[in-house]
Structure 1
Amino acid sequence: MRVMRSARVHGPGSVSVDAVPVPAIGAGDVLVRVRACGICGSDLGYIAAGGLGGGVPLAEPLTLGHEFAGVVEAVGPGVDGVEPGLRIAVNPDAGFIGGGGPDGAMAPLIRVQAAALGSTLFALPDHVSDEQGALAEPLSVALHGLRMVDAKPGDKVAVLGAGPIGLCAVAMLRHLGMRDIAIVDRVQSRLDRALALGATLAVNTAETDLADALAGLHGEGERFGTRFVGTDLFVDAAGAAPLLTDVIAVAKLRARISVIALYKKPAPIDLWKVMANEIMLTGSIALDRADEFGEALAMIGEGKVDLAPMVSHRFAFDRFDEAIAVAGDADRSAKVMLHFDGEPA
């Protein structure tokens, strides 16, 4: 039996790289040799929670890894138009790859179920690197969140949180034609990355009042005797309840808020403000996003948005523990990439 190493969560704060069987493929499956896999904030959340969250204990170890690109190694029956050697990025929705399903991409080989070009598998152009291909997943997460609130050119936007998904939101806003983008965080190095990606204004809330900064960029007014800022759209990629509270307090009539962040516990919401100002507040978990995945990959291929500032660190898979530690350090990292060159399987 062939074995390989795979990163798996065993309980709260417990993650290890385990020896597991190389996955067998069947009808509708392909086997992919992983070349690059990003570490997502949700991966860190799964490790901290000891599972998918919600207090549900694990029945078996949780495999990690859903932001990845690689090369098709073997093709099962019933998969058309796909041959070994094809370089691909993978939309992880089918089979909940790295998110509760049996397969995860923090391993040298992964089974991809329901394999089909244009829905699960997306061919990589020669000029797009494996690492860039792996970015299509978080970029499509951001794009899905923007589609949920009908983001459009001319919108005045504030992105809350300059972590990896916040940075992806800035990149996709630029792609969609937005040019009036504030980025909000408490870590200056992350704000600097967002500016390099095309944000207009960096708001460090450790040093600057959020409402004053947004009013300076987007304008302000008064409604029901309280101040509002002229921001049309807020993208919550921070998951910080006090920040969301501050936003709702100053949101204007019919402002839209897209929550992409992973909240680890319930957050208080001023529903009077939501009602009185007809605020649209929606969540986004990015399912059924094949079109958005393809659009994100097309944007990467066009090369009009320089994505280099998004990736802060690269580690070989045998330095997994170090990579996870760096990914969890907001002062040091943005997107952390794992690479699998030479990883045996």
Structure 2
Amino acid sequence: MKSVQVTGVGTTAVVDVPTPEVGPTDVLVRMRACGICGSDTFYISIGGIPPRQGETPLGHEPAGEVAQVGADVTGISVGDHVVINPIASRKGMIGSGGPGGALSEFLLIPDAVLGTSLAVIPDHIPFAVAALNEPMAVARHAVNRTQPKPGDKVVIFGAGPIGLGAAISYKRSGVGHVVVVDVIPSRLEKALAIGADAVINSAEENVVERLTELHGAGATAMGHPRPDTDIYLDAAGVGVVIDTALAAAKHRATLGIVAVHKKPVPVDFGAVLGSEVNIVLSMGYPTEIFEVTKDIVAEWEKFALIVSDEFDFADVQQALALAGTPGAADKVVVTFS
């Protein structure tokens, strides 16, 4: 079969590798779609992940069709459409340093267990949308970490895939109002299309003033005026977001951080002491990988808007190049004919 591997610093290749053999507890999935993540482009930039430096298989956002089922596996049948937990296997994470990657024609799921390793999805869900399951689980975990309550007023900084996924999850959790902040008009239009109640272009508007207009007036413990926003979520990863959120936070507001910050962000804790702000960080998806699957099945048309570019596997190098170009695309998904 053909598989995409990191072959050196800044280089990838489509290589021929043996199709995996299926043991009695394994499932073999014919890949039908795989998203490209920012971490994929990072792995390329450093030449792969030890101990597979120079030959790291790529792809950890998979959706596919079951091709073979081991004799001891129950609840899974050939032909089932599935999404996959890339961190479930004890034998190595899929596409993140393990022996297999989802940017391959086939993917072996060792010790496959329904509901732990993979989940079956309805046949009408497009595979390109199903491939969002993994990043949307990241977004769902970020939402869960902020512990939203019905009626809460939320602002999300960053209208990329994680921010948009979080917006859908917040709305499904029953919050009262969701605002999305970004500087790119097309992203803000997409945020409204997936269900955000309002958007703010931070390049053109004062975020704090606009939040006060949208969410009403709140205050710190000392009575200093603040927007009445309950939850701030950083899905952008730039220091000004942290500065803005902490300066705007009312008494006991929550700041969630799911974005990867590549530079240290200084915080004046004395200045925010009176807000008693709750700061929570979010990484991965301890329990959310198939929790979010239900959301995708229920509202797949909204999630479909998150996919900005689709490429056939034959053009995977072009897809990787686009995904690795800052600002060129929001979410690139590779599909398999």
TM over 0.5: yes
Moved more, 19-28 or 313-322: 19-28
**Pairs aligned (count):** 333
Q: State the partner residue of 2:80.
A: 86
* SS of match in other structure, 1:311: coil
* SS of match in other structure, 2:311: strand
Which of 229, 232, 237 is 1:231 aligned to?
229
Q: State the partner residue of 1:253.
A: 251
Matched-pair contact (CA < 8 Å) for 1:171–1:305: no
* SS of match in other structure, 1:310: coil
For residues 172-219 of structure 1, the C-alpha deviation after alignment (integer angstroms, 9 at most, x for no partner) is: 112212341111111111111111001122111122222122222122
The separation in 2 between residues aligned to 1:120 and 1:137, in whole angstroms, is: 12
The separation in 1 between residues aligned to 2:137 and 2:301, in whole angstroms, is: 15
- Superposed displacement of residue 91, structure 1: 1.8
Q: Find out whether 1:104 has 2:101 as its counterpart.
A: yes
Q: State the partner residue of 2:308.
A: 312
Check 1:58–1:279 CA distance in 2 against 1; reply closer, same or farther (3 A cut). Answer: farther
The separation in 2 between residues aligned to 1:163 and 1:142, in whole angstroms, is: 11
Check 1:307–1:24 CA distance in 2 against 1; reply closer, same or farther (3 A cut). Answer: same
Alignment of 1:55-134 (within 5 A): 59-95=53-89, 96-134=93-131
Q: Find out whether 1:204 has 2:201 as its counterpart.
A: yes
* SS of match in other structure, 1:115: coil
- Superposed displacement of residue 10, structure 1: 4.4
The separation in 1 between residues aligned to 2:98 and 2:272, in whole angstroms, is: 36
Which of 168, 179, 182 is 2:179 aligned to?
182
Check 1:80–1:60 CA distance in 2 against 1; reply closer, same or farther (3 A cut). Answer: farther
Moved more, 42-51 or 76-85: 42-51
The separation in 2 between residues aligned to 1:304 and 1:31, in whole angstroms, is: 25
For residues 126-185 of structure 1, the C-alpha deviation after alignment (integer angstroms, 9 at most, x for no partner) is: 222222221222222211111112122211111111111111111111221234111111
Normalising by structure 1, we get a TM-score of 0.87
Matched-pair contact (CA < 8 Å) for 2:162–2:235: yes
Check 1:105–1:229 CA distance in 2 against 1; reply closer, same or farther (3 A cut). Answer: same
Check 1:48–1:244 CA distance in 2 against 1; reply closer, same or farther (3 A cut). Answer: farther
Matched-pair contact (CA < 8 Å) for 1:195–1:202: yes
Which of 314, 319, 332 is 1:336 aligned to?
332
Normalising by structure 2, we get a TM-score of 0.89
Check 1:92–1:199 CA distance in 2 against 1; reply closer, same or farther (3 A cut). Answer: same
Counterpart of 1:14, as a letter, is T
For residues 105-138 of structure 1, the C-alpha deviation after alignment (integer angstroms, 9 at most, x for no partner) is: 1111111233111122111112222222212222
Q: Find out whether 1:42 has 2:39 as its counterpart.
A: yes
Check 1:204–1:57 CA distance in 2 against 1; reply closer, same or farther (3 A cut). Answer: farther
Q: State the partner residue of 1:191.
A: 188
The separation in 1 between residues aligned to 2:100 and 2:203, in whole angstroms, is: 40
For residues 50-92 of structure 1, the C-alpha deviation after alignment (integer angstroms, 9 at most, x for no partner) is: 457xxx8964533221212101112235322223222111122
* Consecutive unaligned residues in structure 2, runs of 5 or more: none
Matched-pair contact (CA < 8 Å) for 1:72–1:85: yes
Q: State the partner residue of 2:262.
A: 264
Counterpart of 1:84, as a letter, is V
Moved more, 150-159 or 276-285: 276-285
Q: State the partner residue of 1:287.
A: 285
Counterpart of 2:313, as a letter, is F
The separation in 1 between residues aligned to 2:135 and 2:63, in whole angstroms, is: 12
- Cα RMSD (Å) of the superposition? 2.5
Matched-pair contact (CA < 8 Å) for 1:32–1:73: yes
* Consecutive unaligned residues in structure 1, runs of 5 or more: none
The separation in 2 between residues aligned to 1:119 and 1:216, in whole angstroms, is: 44
Matched-pair contact (CA < 8 Å) for 1:187–1:330: no
Matched-pair contact (CA < 8 Å) for 2:66–2:81: yes
- Superposed displacement of residue 295, structure 1: 3.0
Counterpart of 2:233, as a letter, is V
For residues 200-243 of structure 1, the C-alpha deviation after alignment (integer angstroms, 9 at most, x for no partner) is: 22111122222122222122344358553221111211111222
* SS of match in other structure, 2:290: helix
What is the identity percentage for the equivalent residue pairs of Structure 1 and Structure 2? Answer: 40
Check 1:271–1:113 CA distance in 2 against 1; reply closer, same or farther (3 A cut). Answer: farther
